[in-house]
Amino acid sequence: MITYPNTGSAPYPAMITFGFFSSINTSLSDLGVAVITFPNDDIAEQANTGSRGKGKFYDLFCSDHSAGAIIAWSWGVSRLIDALEKTPEANIDPTKLGVTGCSRNGKGALAAGAFDERIALTIPQESGSGGSASWRVSDFQGPDVQRLTQIVTENCWFGLSLNQFRNSANKLPYDHHMIAALCAPRALLIIENTHMVWLGNLSTWVTGNAAHMVWDALGVPDRMGFSQVGHGSHCILPDSQTPELEAYVRKFLLDDDTQNTTIMKTDGAVSYTHLTLPTKRIV
């Protein structure tokens, strides 16, 4: 479903939202950005672990396909973009696309942005572990945080091959700062909530800072931001973070280079220390 804005002109930039994500729709419409509601549950179900292999992705590729729901959703977003490129009468500019979602759908939004370079702006909100948090740091935080050992028993978001690491996240050959970094040098704004400990308030902050080093190294640090503000309503964007979201939308979907997108902040009592490791000279 495409909802066109009440301002601007066609072809419109657009934000692809995982599910119906009303928290930011009004802001997007007022800016002249269309909203494309992506039915991710139709592509791959996510009711529980018993949902594995159900949905349109698995109808095409067989119910025993190794992909978990998140990467199936990412595939679906890519096919949506293919359709937009071939359908100019939709009045959407396929070169000005963002993707967003909250909680479990934020995990999906991050993956979609990471794996399709046609997405100009990725905004995962309160995606926590399996999204903008690190499995290793979430383990360090302890049982009050969603950890790998729990998440593989909750739902079918990941492939079954991840289960082998459920009690040994430190042996994973990757972590989620690397998933975030796949978006570079394109724009990424991570929105988190300090009060939702289950999301990994320390873990997301550390992971965001680690990922930000990639944009730093590429010379575009203002293309990656992190905003963590504590509040009690999961998936409701507080007023204090709306200007930050709008700055990223204006700059990277509406080409307004006057916007300040240098945002790396948390209001929690969490810290990140960048350790400079010794280097070896290989002869």
The active-site residue out of 65, 195, 231, 234 is 234
> Per this entry, what is the length of the chain?
283
The answer to whether residues 31 and 89 touch, using CB atoms and an 8 Å cutoff, is no
In terms of Cα–Cα distance, which of 134, 138, 137, 112 is closest to 123? 112
Q: Name the active-site residue from 74, 103, 132, 227.
A: 103
Asked about 234 being catalytic, the answer comes back as yes
Q: Which residue stretches of the chain are H helix? A: 25-31, 40-43, 56-61, 69-85, 104-115, 135-141, 148-154, 176-181, 201-217, 242-252
CA distance 262 to 35: 25
The rounded distance, in Å, linking the Cα atoms of 175 and 250 is: 30
- Indicate the pairing of strand 187-192 with strand 224-228: parallel
27 as an active site residue: the answer is no
**Which positions are annotated as active-site residues?**
103, 234
